[in-house]
Amino acid sequence: MMKFDKRYFSHFNFSAVEIKKHFENALKDINIAEIDKIPDVKFNYAYSAVIKLGIALLSYYQIKVKSVPGHHIKIIERLAEALRDDSINDIGNAMRSKRNIGMYSGGLEVTEKECEEYVDFVQKLITRVKVIITARSGA
């Protein structure tokens, strides 16, 4: 089991069905990001998919995320740790920062090219998370 900071996470016994639901929730968001033509919408749904993938993977490890300030940072960190890939931390936090600027500083400016790169990044994460979740739990 992964170690976790009790300020952001708690132990919880997730069933295979619950883990699968978390994963499918991330898939729903990336599907919206792929289909929509508006860059801001594509970006926000791609970012949401990253967070939901982290939640799905953490639920596989029987870890529940607490909704407290800074929890998105911790989700991204744990996702990068579990997949042993520091680029997830870098790209995930770049997306988080961009989303925060859009939310708290008067708007988001994201290009179509950036959106395509983020969607591609998320698709690769989906593949990696799916391998872990399905290979070990049959979800």
The residue-averaged pLDDT of 70-82 equals: 94
Domain of 87, in residue numbers: 15-137
Give me the pLDDT at residue 75, please: 96
**If pLDDT is split at 50, 70 and 90, which confidence band does 138 have?**
low
pLDDT at 108 over 90: no
The per-residue pLDDT for range 9-61, each reduced to its tens digit, is: 999 999 999 999 999 999 999 999 999 999 999 999 999 999 999 999 999 99
In this structure, what CATH number is given to the domain that contains residue 124?
A: 1.20.120
CA–CA separation, 73 vs 64, rounded Å?
A: 15
Which long-range contacts (C-beta less than 8 Å, at least 24 apart) are formed by 102-106?
102/40, 102/43, 102/44
- The answer to whether residue 101 sits within a structural domain is yes
How many structural domains is the chain composed of?
1
Higher pLDDT, 113 or 105: 113
- The answer to whether residue 55 sits within a structural domain is yes
